[in-house]
Amino acid sequence: MRTIIAGIGYRNLRDHSVGPLLVDRLAGQRWPDGVAVEDLSYGPIAVVQRFEDDPLDRRFDRAVVVSAVQRDREPGSLTVYRWDGVLPSEEGVQRAVVDAVTGVIYLDNTLVVARHFRALPAEVIVIEVEPILHEFGDGFSPAVAEAFETMCRLARTLATDCASGEAIPVAGLGGGSPAATTAP
Amino acid sequence: MCFKNLPIDFDSAGKPFLRGGVADPYSQATAAPIGAPTQLTAERVEDLLRRNGHIKSVDFDPVTRVAGALAFHTVADLKARRVLEARSVATLFRGYEVIMIGRDPRDAIFITSRACGVCGGVHGTCSALATEMAIGCCPPPLGVLIRNLMLALEFLYDNPLHLHLLAGPDYSQAIVEPTNPSLYARAQKTEAPHAEVHGYRTMADLMTDLNPLTGKLYLEALHMTRVAREAYVLIAGKYPHPQTIVPGGVSSTITLTVMNEMFLRLAQFFDYSKKITGIWDDITDFFYEADPQYMKVGARRAHLIDTGIFDDPDAYDATYANAAAWGNRRWATPGAIVDGQLVTTDLHRINMGIEEFVDHSFYEGWTGEGRTPHFPTDSEGNPLSPHHPWNKITKPRPQGQNWKEKYTWDTTPRWDRNAMEAGCYARLWNTAVAQQLPDNPFIEATGHSLKVRMPRGALPEMELEWHVPKVWNAFERNRARAHCVAFTAMVAMNNWLAAMDRIKNGDLRTSTKFDIPQKGERVGVGFWGAGRGYLTHHLVLDRGAVSNYQIVTPSTWNASPTDAWQQPGPYEEAVLNTPLLEESDDPAKFRGIDILRAIRSFDPCMPCTTHIQSEGGMITREVNTCACGLDG
């Protein structure tokens, strides 16, 4: 199985830097063949094109996508789910594309746009953390810093153990089911 | 006469001076704009709403996740099918001007780049221009040429994206068929005049491929954004927010290999330009022929402003003193157009006519009673208004929204007190009329049109011609934007050839070393352009740190509110003039497509979701605005 661990977020934006910083941490580690660690914190259309560039026999089967997303949950809580891949209405997808080409980098947008253009791997497992600090600067909040270590371990397990994803609940964007939200 | 409203005259040598005997030359009472349209007063509109059941508020209420937002308030007479009141509202303050105070000017390139997710490179470059003028640092020729290429490639990303991803869907089968069924029926029977170039036999075929998400033109535009970006990063390292822009040039290493790789991408725009100019010529002409009322959609006076772009490396010296001279050597000529007439191409005159007002904006004024402006003149002795960006102080003052008083975070820039419009089309118009283009094999200005000779690709060599339009409206904005892609591609071609000559001769230097002077006060301005037109950064340095920084972008002009003379801003004026041609007698099904075409034709770029509140409920639509300069 080929797996990509992808971070999405903004550097120097406190808790919202979780995605790129997780990639920094994991990219320096040793990985078995078939596992890639990449920062996908760029335009979703370019993300689509990046996946499309892979030859058919080298495409990923699983994406483990890591990001901080504000959804008014318990601060610092982790939500882990296998995305059901359900897209919004056509108007919603068009809005996502417009956001994409005008500079918005955001987990939901990247997933919606990449799924619409059939670029995403078949299985997408999302690891989200509820951010607390939203301002410019280095360093996570204590709760997100603690969650970060769990996220790194989880991403590694999901990328190296094929069976590890089976217990993860299927859900829409953001989790949406109590089972998807777990304490770090 | 350059200025008709401000009391500025010129002596026999062409030197400007303030007219004698005018006690307060820049007061609002002294120099009111002559012949400008006016909005109804808020009181009058309230009265109409109270007394007429068919007059309704139609509010465009934005929700956005990102850094800027545009809202639009209108009052429409649904019986007469026209708009009575239009108010353009920038809903967020972002305050780059405030953030910049006290910083090292080198930071400005990277901080102001973040003003926009699409056009970071143009802000970075404009900032570098302002800084190099302030510190006295001129780039080497190859640095100027690479900078020109970088910006051309930004526009080749930006303009097709707007045409087919943002504006295109407004003219697609998915929108036209439900909003104007008779128009779509006509499209099915109408052959497309440029079928041989773009490949669509009927207008309905063309409209179908403009459909969002599935249309071939939509998908092709997505692909072309990649081509332009790849070309850009080859010479600038990365996008968005390139790190290679510096005062005094660019820090990229340029080689023949890089240039050849870049050219392979640039050349893809030759055929693409032929195709999209044919498409937008056909769309425009089809709508006009179907119903001449479409000429009124988004119509307003042809008041356009642009500072020009793409420098001549043999002319540009980064000084303000010579700005009028090097400005006129640009590939896109600077200019102010008033009522369709080009009144100046002189960057000094353009600069001295600029003022920013805050009568309807959430800011405090800074020109208190008896206060002397910091810069009563520029360094050449040309008079400057107390409202000029170099004299402006950004003083945000959040408060409740009130149409009679303050209702937006955008300021009100005016030139000679006129509500000017910014757009890439101003570039075409100035250049076509001024006829100051350098000798070159590809672009010719005729005085009334711009001819662009596109080299052979899969399609044969072709001469495209954009004519100065007789009417100025939403359709002409889009048509001109398509022709601007061709113009930009061939400006890039000229600069590529010039850069290759330099490289072959071993002239590989792309930047000039500089220091930031730590003593005294220094002033600079970046006169540049974004994909959607005019861009200035006005900078004041005091002992090596920024003491004032003012950004005026295309959207600052276009989204500006009504001014103290009740003169509407460009979006407002365009919407006020827009007839409601949508075929719907049921207010519940009203989509506001004509209003949206009017606003979107200006190429607003920052996404904001706009909810149109009609009698039948909320309809979610999008208006995208470049809000990168909406705040002061």
**How many CB atoms are closer than 10 A to CB A174?**
18
In the A/B pair of chains, how many CB contacts fall below 8 A?
54
Quick one: which H or E segment has residue B621? strand B617-625
Q: How far is B624 from chain A (nearest CA, A)?
A: 8
pLDDT at B421: 97
Q: How far is B59 from chain A (nearest CA, A)?
A: 20
Confidence of residue B628 (pLDDT cuts 50, 70, 90): very low
Q: How far is B606 from chain A (nearest CA, A)?
A: 6
pLDDT at B491: 98
pLDDT digits over B542-588, tens only? 999 999 999 999 989 999 999 999 999 999 999 999 999 999 777 77
CB contact under 8 Å between B622 and A98, yes or no, is: yes
Compute mean pLDDT per 10 residues along chain A, 184 residues long, and list them. 96 95 96 96 94 94 97 94 95 88 88 96 97 92 97 96 89 78 46
pLDDT at B612: 37
pLDDT digits over B357-395, tens only? 999 999 999 987 667 899 999 999 999 999 999 999 999
Confidence of residue B479 (pLDDT cuts 50, 70, 90): very high
Which tokens is B441 given?
Answer: 């094999």
CB contact under 8 Å between B240 and A103, yes or no, is: yes
Smallest Cβ–Cβ distance between B213 and the set A49, A94, A99 belongs to: A94
For residues B157 and A103, give the distance between their C-alpha atoms in angstroms, rounded to a whole number: 13
Smallest Cβ–Cβ distance between A104 and the set B117, B212, B229 belongs to: B117
Smallest Cβ–Cβ distance between A93 and the set B65, B213, B609 belongs to: B213
| pLDDT above 70: residue B614 | no
- Its ipTM equals 0.87
Q: Which residues of A134-165 are buried (b: 16+ CB within 10 A; e: fewer)?
A: eeeeeebbebbeebbebbbebbbebbeeeebb
Q: Are strands B8-10 and B16-18 parallel, antiparallel or unpaired?
A: antiparallel
| pLDDT above 60: residue B60 | no
For residues B548 and B201, give the distance between their C-alpha atoms in angstroms, rounded to a whole number: 56
pLDDT digits over B414-447, tens only? 999 999 999 999 999 999 999 999 999 999 999 9
Lowest mean pLDDT among A104-108, B122-126, B302-306: A104-108
Confidence of residue B621 (pLDDT cuts 50, 70, 90): very low
Q: Which DSSP string do the residues of B175-244 spell out, in sequence order?
A: HHHHH-HHHHHHHHHPBPTTHHHH--SBHHHHHHHTSTTT-HHHHHHHHHHHHHHHHHHHHHS-SSS-S-
| pLDDT above 70: residue B625 | no
pLDDT at A159: 95
Percentage above 70 pLDDT, chain B: 93
Q: Which of A10, A98, A105, A113 to mutate to test the interface with B (most CBs of B within 10 A)?
A: A98
Taking CA atoms, B498 is separated from A138, B144, B493, in Å, by 44, 11, 9
Q: Which residues contact B283 (CB under 8 A, 6 or more apart)?
A: B171, B203, B206, B475, B478, B479
- Closest residue on chain B to A102 (Cα): B118
* B63 neighbourhood in chain A, CB within 8 Å: none
pLDDT at A178: 55
| pLDDT above 90: residue B97 | no
- Closest residue on chain B to A52 (Cα): B223
Query: Considering Cα of B304, then B442, then B121, then A114, what sign does the dihedral take?
Result: positive
CB contact under 8 Å between A98 and B620, yes or no, is: no
State the average pLDDT over residues B510-519.
96
Query: Considering Cα of A120, then A121, then A122, then A123, what sign does the dihedral take?
Result: negative
Q: Which residues pair with B538 in a beta bridge?
A: B525, B550
CB contact under 8 Å between B213 and A91, yes or no, is: no
- Give B35 or B391, the one with higher predicted confidence: B391
pLDDT at A180: 63
pLDDT at A165: 83
pLDDT digits over A135-166, tens only? 889 999 999 999 999 999 999 999 999 888 88
Global pTM? 0.92
Residue with tokens 């999008």: B622
pLDDT at B369: 67
Q: Which residues contact A65 (CB under 8 A, 6 or more apart)?
A: A6, A7, A8, A40, A107, A110, A111, A124, A125, A126, A127
Average pLDDT, chain B: 90
State the average pLDDT over residues B175-199.
97
Which tokens is B570 given?
Answer: 């460009």
pLDDT at A181: 59
| pLDDT above 90: residue B93 | no
Confidence of residue B603 (pLDDT cuts 50, 70, 90): confident
Q: Which residues pair with A60 in a beta bridge?
A: none
Confidence of residue B67 (pLDDT cuts 50, 70, 90): very low
pLDDT at B109: 93
Confidence of residue B119 (pLDDT cuts 50, 70, 90): confident
| pLDDT above 50: residue B626 | no
Q: How far is B66 from chain A (nearest CA, A)?
A: 7
- Closest residue on chain A to B608 (Cα): A99
Confidence of residue B63 (pLDDT cuts 50, 70, 90): very low
